[in-house]
Structure 1
């Protein structure tokens, strides 16, 4: 007798697939390491490869008394539990999912516990840890605690092969008593992503009114373009708002679109996990946008917006950016970017991709003022070139060449802080030679601290006069004045 099953029981997009689970080729090796009472285990792989599903399936096979406690870094209550396990070295077996989202010090504490457990084996009553994370989490953990690799089971789960995906589809079709014609197109669309395969098959079935096991074998056809549109439309309500928040940045301005460009570039990649340094080097058309947010601004954006933090991950130290939810990654890959640009409120791009909105040129004596302006603009989500902040980026290169590009072509505007000190210094003079030709294009904003005259900067140019004396300890209100008289005026100009 045929057992009637509901569609959602067969092609599952949430929870553990009971009828369509396809074990990875290294499933048994993973099972043995998880079953080992003291051996730490690390599972890595990009989103959609089924890391968590694989572990949960293994846990379901184990005897109840041997099942580890499942904890995820996405749950604040679980994080408290993880902290306690690391602090008190709580005996037991624990699965720590989304390890990469934990604070670095907590990661290191867990790695130390794992190493100790691996070193002592059955001689110590220590936690047995199964750690799940995105790509390279194993190597990152080893870097935190050297020598852990020798006694740790490190496994990488790759996307499914064509045979794996066909097996998943055939298992589901058998349970529903259907045949999907042209199913090879599903693998071409999903590229081995198990979750996405489940979703595509589910959408094919709903579009053809297959809501449960069929009484008679039924052959169904589909158009992958139609299915893609259906899936994207279904995901829109869940993800479009977070995508817009990400693209608009920490503080929206019509020309401030580096986050938009970054996300569009990520959507064109095969992997949902990218190294931003590598991406910037490989894609000149978005290099400026990536470079001016990857050091600080991107992390501030993600930390400052909960909806963005739930959807996107960034490690400012390793420059690793990830879309961990495979559903969101698929949605991003098939966005209408022109419509999104319009919905975000961005103006049409002028064709130039500036690395910096503003480059600050100043003499060393006025560094406190330049530093304050830089910090203020960064807080307002403005990409700024300020020399100290980018020394590491240009190490090994000549400042003369870099300054020629930064003040000549890589910045949309130049803010120059002019006074007698500026006129007497070699490097400020060199910088001035690079941006003076831009005075005619109205892209140079001078701040006059005194009446010193400069060749190439007309005496009647409209600038900003500001009183600043770094030696005057009684002038405690200069930051407030600088905010009002310089920073706000710059923001007004950038918002035009």
Structure 2
């Protein structure tokens, strides 16, 4: 079974074997390689080796067409001596998936206590709302746990819900296989959440939780996300997402933020900012760090983007304050955006020297940090002890 979590090197080895098999077959040898279970997300392996795409293909098991679905339902009706009112309605509900069609028909029968052949012809109406509730309840025992574990992320926090927002948005699509970059661009209300997790955090979540890896597929290189179990997708499409949010333990906040932290810094302090960003991401925090999001904001003005992020879309602003931050144009602009948030305790200063800043009084509790005299191999530990732990505790205190 080829899964999207396979490393490119492994996929390339498989692709080379397929190419060799195809060449041997052309020379008269009946040698084939058949990979069972390859999904659309993983299909890029046939493009990893030059000249392979035209030698092989992917053969998908397609859902049943309308006439086959009607035939399947009719055979069941004959055996049970029943008549379901709307065959086409069932087909529209299940998309022709064989297993889901059978489950839906079973739910219709059970709603009328039909468990064996009826002594007289029974007419069964198709009640879509009642049907969806019954089927979703039936699937809950199988799919509730993986959905909740996915939504809670790699490190649960009651305010850390981008995975829930992503999954809910996917459930609202026609297809269960989506390009997350396209999805983010098409849905501004969840763009920040999707962009926050699609580079690294989503892959880490799926890799770290076997129950998520079993049901959810993601290729961070192509940004393709897939739910290939039709029953799981059906379950998600008809979930009560407000109830799910409560089950996950998320708190409803007065404001929605795209980022837990946005880091403001002068270019001279980029290495320190990058180290802070990396450690916060390890703890599954969403962090705005300019170079991570350049591709997401192509075609947009940095001026407008930075104003939104530092003034409104970040829960906290972490500012690395020193003489460079005071003198440089962009850090000064960022300061103008986030200084109005100082009274709401949303600005966390990290003081790198004794520079004074308008709007940021000396009595604001911040973090004093200096790497002077610290061996290079101990810098990361110093950042962890003096900065990261304190930032994490600040989030947890909300």
Instruction: Give 1:425 shift.
Output: 3.0
Deviations 1:101-145 (A, max 9, x none): 53332222222222232233253464432454333655x244222
1:388-399 matched pairs, under 5 angstroms:
388-395=291-298, 398-399=301-302
1:40-55 matched pairs, under 5 angstroms:
none
8 Å contact from structure 2 (residues 215, 227) kept in 1: yes
Give 1:291's aligned residue: 195
Give 2:21's aligned residue: 117
Give 2:356's aligned residue: 453
Give 2:273's aligned residue: 370
1:298-337 matched pairs, under 5 angstroms:
298-337=202-241
8 Å contact from structure 1 (residues 356, 384) kept in 2: yes
Picking from 130, 135, 153, the partner of 1:231 is 135
1:429 aligns with 2:340: no
8 Å contact from structure 1 (residues 357, 413) kept in 2: yes
User: Measured at CA, do residues 110 and 480 of structure 1 come closer, stay the same or move farther in structure 2, by a change above 3 Å?
Assistant: closer
Instruction: Give 1:401 shift.
Output: 4.1
1:96-245 matched pairs, under 5 angstroms:
99-123=3-27, 124=29, 126-130=31-35, 132-135=37-40, 138=43, 140-156=44-60, 158-213=62-117, 218-245=122-149
* TM superposition score normalised by structure 2: 0.90
Give 2:305's aligned residue: 402
Instruction: Give me the whole-angstrom Cα distance separating, in 1, the residues matched to 2:63 and 2:341.
Output: 51
Instruction: Give 1:335 shift.
Output: 1.3
User: Measured at CA, do residues 486 and 130 of structure 1 come closer, stay the same or move farther in structure 2, by a change above 3 Å?
Assistant: closer
Instruction: Give 1:325 shift.
Output: 1.8
Picking from 474, 482, 487, the partner of 2:375 is 474
1:246 aligns with 2:147: no
Instruction: Give 1:302 shift.
Output: 0.9
8 Å contact from structure 2 (residues 195, 296) kept in 1: no
Instruction: Give me the whole-angstrom Cα distance separating, in 2, the residues matched to 1:147 and 1:175.
Output: 52
Aligned length: 396
Runs of 4+ with >6 A deviation: none
User: Which structure 2 segments of 5+ residues have no match?
Assistant: none
Instruction: Give 1:372 shift.
Output: 2.1
Instruction: Give me the whole-angstrom Cα distance separating, in 1, the residues matched to 2:128 and 2:302.
Output: 53
Give 1:272's aligned residue: 176
User: Measured at CA, do residues 451 and 239 of structure 1 come closer, stay the same or move farther in structure 2, by a change above 3 Å?
Assistant: same
Instruction: Give me the whole-angstrom Cα distance separating, in 2, the residues matched to 1:318 and 1:115.
Output: 23
Instruction: Give 1:370 shift.
Output: 1.7
1:73-88 matched pairs, under 5 angstroms:
73=2
Instruction: Give 1:491 shift.
Output: 1.6
1:493 aligns with 2:397: no
Instruction: Give me the whole-angstrom Cα distance separating, in 1, the residues matched to 2:117 and 2:325.
Output: 80
User: Measured at CA, do residues 184 and 395 of structure 1 come closer, stay the same or move farther in structure 2, by a change above 3 Å?
Assistant: closer
1:281 aligns with 2:182: no
Instruction: Give me the whole-angstrom Cα distance separating, in 2, the residues matched to 1:465 and 1:338.
Output: 42
Give the match's secondary structure for 2:319: strand
* TM superposition score normalised by structure 1: 0.73
Instruction: Give me the whole-angstrom Cα distance separating, in 2, the residues matched to 1:109 and 1:475.
Output: 40
Give the match's secondary structure for 2:246: helix
8 Å contact from structure 1 (residues 196, 326) kept in 2: yes
8 Å contact from structure 1 (residues 113, 127) kept in 2: no
User: Which structure 1 segments of 5+ residues have no match?
Assistant: 1-71, 74-98
Root-mean-square deviation (Å): 2.5
Give 1:348's aligned residue: 252
Give the match's secondary structure for 1:128: coil
Q: Could you tell which deviates more after superposition, 262-271 or 104-113?
A: 104-113
